[in-house]
Amino acid sequence: MSRVSGWVKALIVVLIVLALAWNTLAVIVTEHLWYADLGYLGVFWKRAEARVIVCIAAFAVTFAFVAINLLATKAVSRLVSTRSALVVATVAGFLAAVASYGSWMEFQQFIHATSFGKPDPIFGRDISFYVFRLPIIRQIYAGSRWVVGLTAASIMLIYLVSGALVRFGREGAEPGGPDGTAFGRRKRGRIVLEPIDARAKLHVCVLLGIGLCVIALGYALSMWGLVYSTRGVVVGASYADVHGTLPGLRLLIWLMLASAVFIIGTGLRAASTRTWVVVCITFVVLLGVSFFAIDVYPGMIQKLYVTPNELVAEREYIGHNIDFTRSAFGLDRVEESEYVVTEGITQAKLEGAADTLANVRLWDWEPLLATFEQLQEMRLYYHFADIDIGRYTIDGKTTQVMLSAREMDVSRLPSQAQTWVNTRLKYTHGYGACASPVNEIGQDGLPTFLVGDIPPRSPADMQLDRPQIYFGELTGDWVIVNTRAEEFDYPVGDSNEYSRYDADSGIRMGYLFRRLLFATRFNDSKIMFSRDITPDSQMLFARDIRERVRRIAPFLQYDGDPYAFIADGRLMWLIDGMTTSTAYPYAERFGDHLNYIRNSVKVSIDAYTGEVSFYIIDPEDPVAATYAKVFPGLFRPASEMPESIRQHLRYPEDLFKIQTRMYAMYHMTDPEVFYNKEDLWGLPREIYKGQQQEVSPYYVNMQLPGEPGVSFVLFTPFTPSRKDNMVAWLAVSSDADEYGRMVAVNFGKQRVVFGPMQIEAQIDQDAEISKMLSLWNQSGSSVIRGNLLVYPIDGSILYVEPLFLAAQASQLPQLKRVIVSDGTRVEIGPDLPEALGALVGRRTSTDMSAGIGTPDQMGEAVDRLAGPSAGAALDLYRKAQERLREGDLAGYDRFQRQLEQVLKSMADEEE
């Protein structure tokens, strides 16, 4: 019975091992198929090859070192057998391989390192040494410390237990045993430690020497690590580091190497009772010198010289930090100039800035997204995830557009409809998009649609011929297409249209083996047994575009806002890939780790086929160049990017936020000004939806000062630290021919320029606007104060803030008013032209009606006007009052606009 039980247990173990092996095989094979389908099989094999090589190298070196040392003890001791030595060495090698598994990229960067062409000021080493080579040297050191330390300790323990290393005796003792061993000695004289075996002594001395060489490497790493020191006022080697710590570390490196030679030489000499005393004294001396050189001496320099003369001592090293930080974050490329604000906005300035004013963004993404959801989602299962800002050439004019993809969200299907067939085979894709100009206000304060409805309606310049969305931001699960089940395409009244996937992408399901692989990977047996799946059906997985690109290139950092656009009749996605490092010398860190970043890679994804293309747009970035060497064929040059995609490049907002925060401090390039933080900047604040918040960077089409044309830029203003006035702004171009060009404009010290919060205060203090806001903010509705945007206009500053009105019942925000200011006064109008007209003194009767905030004011305006239309105006006024009493603000606003037209006609008649 016990024998049968043993076979059963063995069979269970075998089955478990096979199951685990099959699960692993299913993942590996399906991953291989996925990479092959995308055309990136080379990336799959390169990554696997690099991991295998690293693991084999770590295993081989560790195994050889441990095995040689353990087997060497057999000549002296019988405690270790050949089998046990090989077993221990194998285990050690396996652990080393596991520990090094994740270091494959560091090894590849070490091999394929690309020069930065910029040496560090202390050691003269190129930055590539610190970014690409030092990290792997640190890992080798960490591994060597453990392997050498544990091996040396184990060898010494073996020799001690076997009595081959030392013996305890008394000086002058005579042998007492028949074989002359120490165990039979007569006890007299003092106790001593005596070497027993010369081979054991030499072996231990060699291991100690190797250990000292490893320690010397650690000191060398500490020496190079001074470029990241935080001892001084900034990151990087300080005065005390360079004049105190650095000489001490150099001394210790040579002392360790000399001590290693000395100890190995001691092992080669004849046995002596003083051997281990000499070794111990050597280590004690090294410890003392190390403590003084690393801790005491630099501390004395810091306390006695640096602290009383900090600026004088650290000026040079502050300069290094400024230089390298600006270089690391791309701030050394910023073109700086001064912008003198001379006067307010005039009619002539508005006419000269017509191109900028034609694309002033009035719609904020949150109210617009809510409007898209209310008006264009069409069905419960459709969802707009985000609003993306871009620009298109429509009828020959550049038009700034806000667009959102209409994606499928099967989780919003009714619970009874969430069947396997529906979620996996039928509801497989979203459909179309919705797009609106950033500055147009339609009927009842709603947006106008360039692209909308199902099937999509759009101008020729934004024609969407392939509206299906199989790959997007909400497509988080796998589906199978081209099955016997019809795929839902889009709704038509009470019925539906159906379609079939018409692309070669996707993994063919094939027959039993592949179906079994996918059923195992996704833990879904229905894949095996569904009669709707045919050999020609295609598996689509990793459809979330962010997951998709991270699977291919996980070593890049990606912007958190992928954006959709229309190109060549197709819906496309672009994701910005950033190369980063934590090892750039002398550079201040952003957050807890990052101290180098570039936007060197653009990734395009076809929303229909899922095709992914990586483009290097900054060939001067050494990190991107190194990745291109590691993965030949992964990246394409920017010259191969289609023009239809190039027109929609956009500078990443996440990167710009990092750069603006760093530039707020590192625009100061004089070490003394930097040290005293004399000109520290901050990011302004604004009132949004009734709450204060930090102003976020925003995309605008504007004419930069001194530039001949309009550029699509990402823009942010600056204020002095803890103050509200505006001192500068920073803009970066997204245009293909000037991509990444950064322009910073300082307002100088001659005149105070109001910041966003100061303009918000002026708006709050305006009696007319205050009354209107109080009227609208009554029960059942709420006013949303949109983003306050800043535009430089020919020596002036234009501030623009939209006002949205949303009824609590419908949650459909309507853009009702636009507030403008030039810092000297605040005006309001139903749209931007009317508000600007009021700002420059072109106020008419229509402007007056737009600014009226209460029914009494409207009545007074009617009483002042006489003529044939007065009765009609009074009738409209009364209807507006009636709608207001009923809480119908949309109706109130409609009659107010009609009254506006009547008043305009009356004014024309008077003229």
Out of 492-496, 561-565, 872-876, which region has the weakest mean confidence (pLDDT)? Answer: 872-876
Which of 295-309, 370-384, 637-651 has maximum average pLDDT? 637-651
pLDDT recorded at residue 302: 86
User: Interior CA angle at 460 toward 397 and 429, to 5°?
Assistant: 120
DSSP 644-665: HHHTT----HHHHHHHHHHHHH
Out of 483-487, 589-593, 611-615, 833-837, which region has the weakest mean confidence (pLDDT)? Answer: 589-593
* Pairwise pLDDT comparison (635 vs 174), residue with the higher score: 635
Find out whether 902 and 869 touch, Cβ atoms under 8 Å: yes
pLDDT band at 593; cut points 50, 70, 90: confident
Find out whether 70 and 81 touch, Cβ atoms under 8 Å: no
Kindly report each contact of residues 304-307 with a partner whose C-beta sits within 8 Å and lies 24 or more positions away, as own/partner. Answer: 305/239, 306/232, 306/238, 306/239, 306/240
* Pairwise pLDDT comparison (739 vs 189), residue with the higher score: 739
- pLDDT higher than threshold 90 for residue 182: no
- pLDDT higher than threshold 90 for residue 225: yes
Find out whether 196 and 166 touch, Cβ atoms under 8 Å: yes
SS3 string, 284-335, reads: HHHHHHHHHHHHHHHHHHHHHHHHHHHHHHHHHHHHHHHHHHHHHCCHHHCE
pLDDT recorded at residue 341: 86
| CB neighbour list of residue 309: distance below 8 Å, 6 or more residues apart | none
pLDDT in tens, 21-71: 888 899 999 999 999 999 999 999 999 999 999 999 999 999 999 999 999
- pLDDT higher than threshold 50 for residue 847: no
pLDDT recorded at residue 265: 85
- pLDDT higher than threshold 50 for residue 859: no
Find out whether 38 and 46 touch, Cβ atoms under 8 Å: no
Query: What average pLDDT does this structure show over 358-386?
Result: 91
pLDDT in tens, 496-554: 999 999 999 999 999 899 999 999 999 999 999 999 999 999 999 999 999 999 999 99
Q: Which of 417, 456, 342, 429 is nearest to 795 (CA)?
A: 342
- pLDDT higher than threshold 50 for residue 185: no
pLDDT in tens, 772-795: 888 887 767 888 889 999 999 988
pLDDT band at 77; cut points 50, 70, 90: confident
- pLDDT higher than threshold 80 for residue 883: no
pLDDT band at 848; cut points 50, 70, 90: very low
Peptide bond preceding 455 in cis form (omega within 30 of 0): yes
The DSSP element (H or E) to which 254 belongs, if any, is: helix 246-268
The share of the chain scoring above pLDDT 90, in percent, equals 61
- pLDDT higher than threshold 70 for residue 750: yes
pLDDT band at 162; cut points 50, 70, 90: confident
Polymer length of the chain: 911
Q: How far apart are CA 798 and CA 627, in angstroms?
A: 44
> Dihedral through CA 895, CA 896, CA 901, CA 904, nearest 10?
150
Q: How far apart are CA 352 and CA 702, in angstroms?
A: 12
pLDDT recorded at residue 904: 63
* Pairwise pLDDT comparison (875 vs 571), residue with the higher score: 571
E strands of 626-741, at which residues? 635-637, 681-682, 685-688, 691-694, 698-702, 711-720, 728-733
Average pLDDT, rounded, for the chain: 86
pLDDT in tens, 235-289: 999 999 999 999 989 988 998 898 889 888 887 876 555 666 677 777 777 777 7
pLDDT recorded at residue 860: 42
Query: What average pLDDT does this structure show over 198-214?
Result: 90
pLDDT band at 890; cut points 50, 70, 90: low
Query: What average pLDDT does this structure show over 449-465?
Result: 92
Query: What average pLDDT does this structure show over 626-648?
Result: 95
pLDDT in tens, 704-730: 888 888 899 999 999 999 899 999 999
Find out whether 635 and 612 touch, Cβ atoms under 8 Å: no
Bridge partners of residue 558, in order along the sequence: 577
User: Interior CA angle at 136 toward 289 and 288, to 5°?
Assistant: 5
Q: Give the Å distances, CA to CA, from 866 to 11, 769, 877.
A: 103, 27, 15
pLDDT recorded at residue 166: 63
Q: How far apart are CA 332 and CA 625, in angstroms?
A: 20
pLDDT recorded at residue 757: 92
Query: What average pLDDT does this structure show over 343-365?
Result: 88
pLDDT band at 442; cut points 50, 70, 90: confident
Out of 32-41, 81-90, 852-861, 892-901, which region has the weakest mean confidence (pLDDT)? Answer: 852-861
Out of 53-62, 343-352, 674-683, 709-718, which region has the weakest mean confidence (pLDDT)? Answer: 343-352
pLDDT recorded at residue 227: 96
- pLDDT higher than threshold 60 for residue 173: no
- From first CA to last CA, the distance across the chain in angstroms is 116
pLDDT band at 143; cut points 50, 70, 90: very high
